[in-house]
Structure 1
Amino acid sequence: MMLDYAYWITQALLAAGALCAVYRVYRGPSVLDRVISVDVILIIVGSVMLADMAYNGHQDYIMFVVISAVIGFLGAVAIARYVVTGGTAPQDSAKEAEKQAAGIAWEPAPEPEIPASPFAPTEGSGAQTGSDEDESTSWFAALTKSGFRPQSENRTKGDDS
């Protein structure tokens, strides 16, 4: 008997909260008010289902509750991120276009000159010299020995070379 009263009071309060959230979606002055209100409506719908499952002793709606909670959370985060970054403002798109153009026209820095090592064999010592190396890999060996590291801020996401 007491559980019946608690169930119906809970459902009435959740319905009142849903009506207030629907009003805020309709009337909300900003996009963030509407996004938060839709998220509240999803939470209320999940709460109604959870209360029904507790009252009737079943678990039929549990998957829907979990999926709607995840979708509501991800949607709110995505829209909040979009609003915070300002979307695609004209000045931002011009800056992005310049960055993309710089990334497309990116040319690697010239390879640094490698100073002669004091431990390198001389021509008359009888040791094998660097001229006997395979030409296709000698540039890689020289680059590895120089300690050269590419600058990551000049590269773009689409440039994988």
Structure 2
Amino acid sequence: MKVLIFLLAVAGSCTAVGPLAAHEVDSSSRVGQQLVGVSTDEAEALISKVKEAQENLRRKRFQPFLLLAGSVASYDEAKIAPIDVFLDVPFDDVWEVKKVSSARKDWKSFVLSYTPQGLGKAYWEIEVLLGYTGEIHQITLLYKPPAPF
């Protein structure tokens, strides 16, 4: 019960444009980022790297990483092209940055959670896989229903 009350109390929001604009909500109650297994500096460096890739794609500069996106088949988000999703995510507004184990021990894997409608609602789970030299190897964006309480 305390967790549910906490989540309702801190339910934040983010603003999106383009294909994600349908999920626009008031950002006045936005919560700070939650970090799991990463330092503030590591999370900031990761987000900066992803934002740089985003900007390079906007400027039509070649980016060699794999970009994948998907959703539950019946959600409208399943119809959005991966590049459109990626370019529209405001990475400064991700709610959680979590380091996860990678199948390759010399690579780093992170999961970012972007909640355009606020906590407790459908969200984008964004996995960023970095190669052994720190370059982005793959970004996967999945629009998922919220976890049940």
Calculate the TM-score normalised by the size of structure 2.
Answer: 0.20
Work out which of the two has the higher radius of gyration on C-alpha atoms and give 1 or 2: 1
From the two aligned structures, give the one with the greater strand fraction: 2
From the two aligned structures, give the one with the greater helix fraction: 1
Calculate the TM-score normalised by the size of structure 1.
Answer: 0.18
Greater relative contact order (CA < 8 Å, ≥ 6 in sequence):
2
